[in-house]
Every structure is written in structure tokens, then in C-alpha cells.
Amino acid sequence: MIRYCIFDVLGTLFPWKESFRFLHLFNSLGLESKLPEGELRQLFHTRIGEIFRSEEEFESFILEAYRVDKKDVQKVVRRFDDILLSEAEPHPKAETILEELSKSYSLLACSDTTGSTKRMLEKAGLRKYFKKEFYSNEHHLTKSDGLYSFILQIYQPARPWEFVSIGDSASDIVIPKKLGMRTIWVRNESLGHPQVEPDIAVDDLGEVARAVRNLE
């Protein structure tokens, strides 16, 4: 029996755009990189987990990668989040799906974020549907290194198979599946296919409510 639905935020409740990619957002800010493009990308992929764990690590990456004065780095972080917030739009059926599922299940939000996704949910009026929200920058854990395990600990004695993780990226599927959760992949080919098969794959968020009930 499913009791908890864990929703990814950016890319799932707020459909993915190529403009959401980190380095594209930094380019939008007009920042000058200290590194050649290839080295910049390598540094980003090396540090991505740290970036999502805390604002301090995010600021450290910015100072290492871009020509920014230390006194201005917090302003850059705010501008980064503001741009992301301005571009993100909720899926047209997001509220309908959340409202429907919240009548039968406890909804949880789970996001690797520098802080912007909480603001997205607030701006869209969607936070009210979630029993609890788990953000990487607040818990200092990412989806890939302990955030899902932390959720299971919080909700003991609930069993892993009573949870379903719903998202568009591999991080929403692979770790939850290994932990014994059920999984629903909202297809996003631009982010690649998860390395493990989800329990159900759907083409659109609007199909998620039916998919959850099919897992019962």
C-alpha cells in the first residue's frame, strides 16, 4: 500500500527547460569565468553535490569559478535564484494532481536545490499540499548521498515500499529504487534514462495520479 508520495520539484512540478542548466544561468548573469569552458564544466560536475548541500559551498564554487568579489557573492546567489524563479512555471496540471493525491496520500517534496525551489512552490501556491519538504541545502544532504534515507528514518516505522518517488531525473529513481521505494519516472529524455527501470514511466505529470493508484 502506498502512503507517501515524494515529488521532485524542478523538472517535474515545474517542467524542465534547457535554460535551467546551472552554467547557462551563470551566463545569464554576465559573469566572467576564471576557467576555460571545459575546465569550468569539469569543476561544476565535480562540485555539484557540494553546491546543493549548502549556501556556503555554492558561494565557494562561485568564487572559485568566476571573477566575483567576495563581498558581492551573496548578491550573485540571490540574482541566480531570482532568474531561476522568474523562468520556472508550474505544470498546468500540477495543482490539480497535488490536490487529488493529497486526499489519499501524504505528499512530500524533495529537491536538490540552492534554495530556489522552495520559493517556486511558495510563489505557485503549492506548498500547502505537502506534509513536509526536504531541501538539500537545508538538510546538507543531496538525493544521491542520503536525503532519501533521511526521509525513511523520519517516517519510521513506515516501510520503503509505502513510498513512491516521482521525478524526471535519474536521481529521483535510482536511489529510491535501491532503498526499496516504488518509483514513477516522468520522462525527460534531455536528462537521460535512469540506470534502473522505474516501476512506471509516464509521458506527462498529468498521468501521475493514475500511475500512483496503479501501484496499489
**Domain containing residue 113: CATH number:** 3.40.50.1000
Which range marks the domain in which residue 122 is found?
A: 4-15+89-214
Q: How many independent structural domains does the chain possess?
A: 2
57 shares its domain with 106: no
28 shares its domain with 100: no
66 shares its domain with 145: no
In the listed set 87, 114, 137, which residue is the last one of a domain according to the structure? 87
Residue range 143-201, pLDDT digits in tens: 999 999 999 999 999 999 999 999 999 999 999 999 999 999 999 877 778 889 999 99
- Inter-CA distances, 48 with 74, 98, 107, Å: 18, 29, 27
59 shares its domain with 135: no
**Nine-digit cell string for 29:** 548573469
Residue range 27-65, pLDDT digits in tens: 888 888 999 989 999 999 999 999 999 999 999 999 999
pLDDT score for 103: 97
Residue range 13-26, pLDDT digits in tens: 999 888 888 888 88
Identify which of 140, 28, 126 has the alpha carbon closest to the alpha carbon of residue 84. Answer: 28
189, with CB counted inside 10 A (0-12, 13-18, 19+), is: exposed
68 shares its domain with 96: no
42 shares its domain with 63: yes
Whole-prediction pTM: 0.93
136 CB contacts (<8 Å, ≥6 apart)? 52, 53, 111, 112, 113, 142, 143, 147
